[in-house]
Structure 1
Amino acid sequence: MIGYGDRARTQCEVVRLFRETHPDLPSLNQGTISKIEAQYREMGHVRKVPSKRQAVVDDDTKLNLLLALEENPITPARQLARDNCQKYCKPPGIQSMHSNNKNLISRSNSK
């Protein structure tokens, strides 16, 4: 375990020390300390790292959105998405139907 103060401590000692030092906060368990330590060893810090997402829309769609906003700046975001992002947005319920079909197919193949 990474040292705290003048010496290294076990994870159980860190849990006990945290409970004694901060009785007003919710107590941590050994698993939480283990995850924090693993993240520190891997990254060198324990700050949350924002996940990087890839762009979902192409340049033509971005241009269409900007032009639509330029024509009518008070257009609601939902309407913009409905009008310009059809090939990226699935209608409600489609994803759940596909996942149900996959489950049915895998069940029928396993028999």
Structure 2
Amino acid sequence: MNLEKNITDAGVEHDSRNASRKQLKAKSITVCQIRYGNKTRTQQVCNLFNAKYLNNPITQSTVNKIEFKFRETGDVKDLPKSGRPKITQDKKIDIVLSMEENPQSTSILVASENEVSQTTVLCILRKENYHPYKFQLVQELNEDDPDRRLQFCETMMDLYQTNPNLHQQILVSDEATFCLNCTVTRQNCRVTN
């Protein structure tokens, strides 16, 4: 049937994209192709479309709205919204500059400084391609490390020979960084760049 072929042809674009807006657009295009290509009833369009895309069903009202939008504007995209933007360009610049000046600052702190919500700060930073990075401390290996390791093993073997209970006097920690006089907290150390 020609109607099912239109669904399959338009579905190629729908299956290859994951974003919800793109899926909605692909759905809209598919519905318009089905509707205008064969002049079928709304219920038939819904049944065929829902049979093809089980995860994203549509209703008759959705088909009617998409068809109306397509007839009015010639496209299925939403019209640009009128009114003032949610946040001014100056605020956006202030937020980005505050992260540039202090990359270790948190989004909550930047939000309170600029009197906007944390969600707005995160959205602006994401749009400006800023990403939070977590520090990862690694042990630097030097050229003389193998010699030092060998020397440590030999020293420990000698100490163990003289004191068989040496293992009871050694404290072992599972932390990668262990300091008695400094504080290194890797769990909450973030930099946004």
Name the structure, 1 or 2, with higher relative contact order (CA <8 Å, separation 6+): 2
TM-score (norm 1): 0.48
Larger radius of gyration between Structure 1 and Structure 2: 2
TM-score (norm 2): 0.32
